Amino acid sequence: LFRSLPLPLLLLLLWEPTVSAGPDKLVCYFTNWAQYRPGNAKYTTAEVDPTLCTHLIYAFATLDSSNRITTVEWNDAAVYGQFNGLKRQNPGLVTQLAVG
């Protein structure tokens, strides 16, 4: 029977994934350019509900010519503070910075 199955399917059938009993994660993504959307589409840290996600990623920072992380938008430093301040409303929230 196994000789007639394609190799990827055979490997899938034989593979037993390890199941983790850890907590669920809901990772959310916040973009620094959403502040420039017009009207009701504008989105800032004031609109973020920090209880909806377990992890919140801020996009983006970048690398300068010396390969140091630096801001992209004129107000990123202030917004980083607001973004990380969401932990006051949800102490279990994990915040991260995407560099790209």
- Whether 43 has a pLDDT exceeding 50, the answer reads yes
State mean pLDDT over 4-21. 48
State mean pLDDT over 19-39. 86
- 15 vs 72, more confident: 72
94 contact partners, CB below 8 Å, separation of at least 6: 54, 55, 56
**pLDDT band for position 10 (50/70/90)?**
very low
